[in-house]
Structure 1
Amino acid sequence: MEILDKFGKPIPRIITKGDELNPWDAAHDYLDGELAAGQKPEFVEPDLRHRIFSAQDPEYLASQNLDLEAFDENEYLKNWPRPDDGTDRFVWHLTDKYSEFFKANKRLLEKVKDPWIKVGHIDTGFQPDHPALPKNLMKDKSRSFIKGEEGKQAIDVASGTKLEQDGHGTATMILLAGGSVGNSHTSDNYSGVVGAAPFAEIISMRISETVALIQTSSFVDALEYAISEGCEVISMSMAGAPTKAWANMVNKAYAAGITVVTAAGNSWFEGPRKALPKTILYPARWERVIAATGVAYDNLPYVLKARIQTKSEGGETMQGNFGPADVMTHALAAYTPNVFWATMNDAGKYFRLDGGGTSSATPQVAAAAAIWLTYYRNEINEILKKFPGEKWRKVEMVKNALFASADRHSYPLHKIYLGRGILKADQALTVPPSEENLVKAKEATVNLWGILDLLGLLLRLKGENEANEVRGEMFQTEILQQMHTNPALQKFLEYHENDIWSDADRELMREELLKSPEVSQKLKEYLAAE
């Protein structure tokens, strides 16, 4: 397990107790070594593999004695509304009745003769032979950030299984900016453009072999690369628990004026996977990121408890994450499930009809941001000239347009389950950029709302000792990660910053941390001290 500095870069370790240490104990051991050597204390954390976003992971399924879920690429998901028979049902989410991408792209071309924008696509890479890949996919700029693949192209290889995650990067990239296909590619369902922003120049960054696992350092390196390549929008249909390095990189992207859109995350309402968090995950949970939530074909949320009808038997049991309320203020819904899903897992098959998860919603929101930025490029640049060094205003202008134009009438409880409303890409183009009323979003951090005080740790970590401040931030990060992975602690993810914790809450948190084999001994020592 590598140790990372606060910027997500590997640093040499001074481990005195061997590599069998808990990853966070290894980080504390490194800090102790630095202090013993008289060095200035700096935040360090382990380079974790995040196993939260998807439970369709072969290792997880095997551990739970579960079978891989079989999909029929010719069928829609049975639990969720599906498009009516009609000419455009294959691309229903792009039509005027839904996300308005056909209309928005037509309006864009009427104003801008040769539209362009760089969009960073962070996922599992792409399968180079799929016929619907973006026409402006910058293959020479694509990069893998997986250990052992550094410097190589972001090429994904289908495993041949029917897991939703297999070929995940190809599928989300095509939803974002896919090119034209013929009837022979879609089983005679459709002929034409399939991407929401087909003009965009796509830089593919491969950070994982599967959507179920994300390495802390891989996301950091990919986002840093996207910034260096001049990307204006980031689309990442992945999520996990927070790290300091992720927070710092999100802040860097925001300062550079990059609109980052990431998936809210998915949860399950049946079976062992009910243990996964149901609130919005990171990076989407940070205010400087747009969280992509889901809304179904019938304009009701992609959340079972929010729906009027009762679910049918069988079919997929995945749904989108939502909440808490303060996070939903920077969330936006796009259409999922039962959108097309590009695949190369079966000979002669290039698409399924059962695309779902907030994975499908994320590239749609990112595409709308890309269209708006391209449409108003000159106007945005004129505004930014008045505010040198404040490129974050560009992100807030995008958010303002997408949020102000969203459909807030189709579902009255949108603030709870959808966020600011349902994405309307063409309506967003009627909202011009303005320098008025732009508020800088709260900095992305891993600091918890008084959790150290609640656990009785704050007094022991206060004072002039800089090392204690670093140690406290490390504890907070570890506890926040535990709140995502320990089902008994996930209820605290629903708490608001100003909520009052009861004594029972505090004791539950302490007891769960003390008994968990996943918690570092260093944190347990502090928790157990009188």
Structure 2
Amino acid sequence: MIRDLGPGRGQRRWKAAQALLRAGAAPIVHIDTGLAPHPALGFVGETPPPNIRLDLGINYYDPSRSLAPLAPRADPGSTIEALTEFPDHGVKTLSVILSDQAELRGVAPGAHVVPYRVANGPVFRASARTGLIGDAIDHALGLDPQPRVMSISMGNPGPMGAFELLRALLGGETVTARATRDAIDRAYEAGVIVVCAAGQIIDRVVYPARFARTIAVGGFAKQGAKLIHYPTGGYAEAERVDVWAPAVGVNRAAVRPAGEDDPYVFADTVGAEATEVSGTSYACPQVAAAAALWVAAHADALESAYGAPGDRWRIVEAFRRALRDSATPATAENGAPGGGEAGIRTLDIEALLGQAPDTASQHRKRQPAANAVL
């Protein structure tokens, strides 16, 4: 079980950048299922810590219940909901960034965060609309100061061929709403780094990670000295993935359903998790936190080079280049029948922070999400 995602001894750049985020650098936008008052996020009872801005975030999923981006503790109402609805998903993913407890040390405890609730689980079903991601992005773009990084550990795979019947039975929404695609483009033009989980249910990178203007994050597991690709079998289009990070066995914070005496637990708590503790959902926030650390560490250079409105998209591409160039090349074994190996690039945060923006490069502007063929 992974209990420490933070800097090790001697990783001074990482620790210095953490201090910048704690001091109030532009917040990370967290678009997920909302939050619950888990101590791993810094809550004291029902009171959030000052770095979690519940007052700025919005509940777009079920605003009649509450406008605050808080998730309910409720038992699933049906078998399908039990398979697809995980209201504490937002607690789990945000703990990867913020937790500062013995059970899990996150990448950037104390970082300022604005949370949004746009679904009741990482896969969008009939009661949700993928357009809510776009609503959250657009709202966040209007904040002052404007955030520099967004973390999205949810989405859907797009057209699934033979699996469309299964999607229909589960009430899944097809592809991604135009409103969200347009919002991703607006974020890109504003120089906001949108980090997304690449998924693991199928061998195809899912939306919105599949859009070229986002940062797509794949996953891997460690088995001794070996790396095992997650998902097993790899991705059919691995070139769409920018970086890979640990996705299996992260001891994330978890929230038990209503009725439990001790609701705020961790994944390794007996009875807390019925399935394998894994998911690119937990690789994604590691990279989002790394992006926020990198932007804070190189803020002056980025503003000097790309401060003009028409140049701000270059911040995203400068980060993508620094992320890829600083990552550690590795080979991951595929766990699918037939085996095989896949070349991957694993996240190295200390090396990333030492990678200054390549301001001499013109960079290549990516295809708009609005024009993507779904």
Superposition TM-score, scaled by structure 1 size:
0.55
Q: Does 1:423 align with 2:355?
A: no
Q: Equivalents in 1 of 2:248, 2:319: separation in Å?
A: 25
Q: Equivalents in 1 of 2:179, 2:359: separation in Å?
A: 31
Does the 8 A contact of 2:98 with 2:110 survive in 1? yes
Q: Does 1:217 align with 2:142?
A: no
Q: Does 1:251 align with 2:176?
A: no
Render the CA deviation track for 1:291-312: whole Å, top value 9, x for unaligned: 1110112322113236xxxxxx
Q: Does 1:114 align with 2:23?
A: yes
Render the CA deviation track for 1:401-459: whole Å, top value 9, x for unaligned: 1111111135499xx987861111111011001212222122223553xxxxxxxxxxx
Does the 8 A contact of 1:243 with 1:446 survive in 2? no
Q: Equivalents in 1 of 2:115, 2:150: separation in Å?
A: 10
Q: Radius of gyration: which is bigger?
A: 1
> Residue in 1 aligned with 2:70?
155
> Residue in 1 aligned with 2:14?
105
Shift of the alpha carbon at 1:339? 0.4
Shift of the alpha carbon at 1:194? 2.3
Residues 16-31 of structure 1 mapped to structure 2, 5 A cutoff: none
> Residue in 2 aligned with 1:399?
320
Does the 8 A contact of 1:116 with 1:199 survive in 2? no
Tell me which of 307, 327, 334 is aligned to 2:240: 327
Render the CA deviation track for 1:70-105: whole Å, top value 9, x for unaligned: xxxxxxxxxxxxx5xxxxx522x4464xxx997653
Aligned-partner SS, 2:255: coil
Does the 8 A contact of 1:337 with 1:355 survive in 2? yes
Residues 244-323 of structure 1 mapped to structure 2, 5 A cutoff: 244-267=178-201, 277-298=202-223, 299-305=227-233, 322-323=235-236
Q: Equivalents in 2 of 1:206, 1:252: separation in Å?
A: 20
Aligned-partner SS, 2:31: strand
Does the 8 A contact of 2:151 with 2:288 survive in 1? yes
Does the 8 A contact of 1:333 with 1:423 survive in 2? yes
> Residue in 1 aligned with 2:266?
351
Aligned-partner SS, 2:114: strand
Aligned-partner SS, 2:150: strand
Aligned-partner SS, 2:196: strand
Q: Equivalents in 2 of 1:199, 1:397: separation in Å?
A: 25
Tell me which of 282, 299, 303 is aligned to 1:360: 282
Structure 2 residue runs without a partner (length 5+): 43-48, 77-81, 157-174, 269-275, 335-339
Q: Equivalents in 2 of 1:149, 1:125: separation in Å?
A: 15
**Greater helix share, structure number:** 1
Q: Equivalents in 2 of 1:434, 1:293: separation in Å?
A: 24
Q: Does 1:198 align with 2:109?
A: yes
Shift of the alpha carbon at 1:246? 2.2
Render the CA deviation track for 1:315-367: whole Å, top value 9, x for unaligned: xxxxxxx2324423xx2111011001211204325101353111111101101
Structure 1 residues 149 and 436, CA gap change in structure 2 (3 angstroms): farther
> Residue in 2 aligned with 1:133?
41
Superposition TM-score, scaled by structure 2 size:
0.76
Residues 409-488 of structure 1 mapped to structure 2, 5 A cutoff: 409-411=330-332, 421-437=345-361, 438-448=363-373, 480=374
Q: Equivalents in 2 of 1:432, 1:137: separation in Å?
A: 29
Shift of the alpha carbon at 1:208? 1.0
Alpha-carbon RMSD: 2.9
Paired residues in the alignment total 318
